[in-house]
Amino acid sequence: MLRDIAMRISGEALKCITGLTQIPWAEMDRVSQGMMDGIANYAGDKAVEARCHDATAAIDRYIDERMPVLRAAPDASLLSVQMQAGLPEAAIRANVKLAISGGQNEPRDVIAGLTWALLTHPDQLAMVRDGRASWLQAFEEYGRWIAPVAMSPRRVVQRHVLHGVTLEPEDRVFLMFSSGNRDESVFARPDVFDLTQDAGPAVTFGAGPHFCAGAWASRCLIAEVAMPMIFERLPGLRLAGEVPFGGWAFRGPLRMPVAWDA
C-alpha cells in the first residue's frame, strides 16, 4: 500500500499540481525525498546534503523544460499560474520546490496510514461506509491522531522564558504538532482514533501565517479521491503483515503489505 499505491497516487497528483507532468511519478518521489532528507539533516550529513542538492538541481531542469510549454499553452498548474502572474523566476522555482518538498511524503503517508487505521478499526470504517461519517472526517481525525508532520523547527528571534527555561535569540526549538494534537485538555479522547470527536482544534496543517498552503489540495486528493477509490476498487482489502511506523519529524508507516480479492 505504501510503495505501490499511496506513493504513486501522491506522485501523480503532485505532477498535475506543480505542472511538471513530464517526469515519472517515481522521479517526483525521489526528488521530494531528497529535499525532505535535506530539510531534516540536523546532523549535517554531507551525503544527505549532496542528495538534496542533486534533487533541487533536477527540479530546476524539469522547470526549464516546462516553462516554454506553459508559456505557449498556460494551464492551472502551480508553475503556470505563477508565470502568468509575473512572479520573479527565483520565487517561482522556490515555490515549486516547496510544494514538492511538502506535497509528496505527507499525502503518501496519510493515504497509507489512514487505510491502515480504518482496516484496524472496522467500527470506524463502517461509520464511513454507511454514511454516519465522511471520508473528510476520517482524514482530519487521522491527521490529528498521527500527525504526518509531527515536528517543525523554528529559530528563536527574541529572548523568551517558557516554563522556567530561557530561550535566547538564535536558539533552535522544535514545535511538536503530534503532542499538541493529543492535548488532553483539548481533545476528549486524545489517544484514540475516533471519528466522532472534534478534530477541528488540531494543528495538523500548522496555524496562522505558517498554515499549510496545500491543506485543501491534500484534503481533496485524499478525502474525495484516494480513499473512496481505494476502498471501492480493492474489494476485501486487508492487511497482509505487520505495519511498523517510524519518524518523529515526518511520521508514517514504513511498509504496509496488503491483499484484496480478485
Mean pLDDT value of segment 76-88:
98
DSSP single-letter state for residue 1: -
Look at residue 208 and tell me whether its pLDDT is greater than 90: no
Q: What domains does the chain contain, in order, with CATH numbers?
A: 11-101 (no CATH), 104-262 (1.10.630.10)
> pLDDT above 90 covers what percent of the chain?
86
Which of 77-91, 93-107, 123-137, 225-239 is least confident? 93-107
pLDDT tens-place string over residues 240-253: 999 999 988 889 99
pLDDT of residue 40: 79
What the block records as the C-alpha cell of 15 is: 505532477
The secondary structure of 179-229 as a DSSP string is HHTT-TTT-SSTTS--TTS--TT--TT--GGGS-TTHHHHHIIIIIIIHHH
Residues forming beta bridges with residue 176, ordered by sequence position:
151
Q: Give the CA distances from residue 8 to residues 12, 23, 49, 76, 209, in Å, rounded to whole numbers and listed in that order.
A: 6, 13, 25, 22, 30
Average pLDDT of the chain?
95
> pLDDT above 70 covers what percent of the chain?
100
Look at residue 88 and tell me whether its pLDDT is greater than 90: yes
pLDDT of residue 248: 81
Q: Rounded to whole angstroms, how far apart are CA atoms 219 and 240?
A: 27
Mean pLDDT value of segment 187-201:
95
> Which residue type does 204 have?
T
> Which residue type does 253 have?
P
Closest alpha carbon to 161 in 149, 173, 152, 153? 173
pLDDT of residue 42: 79
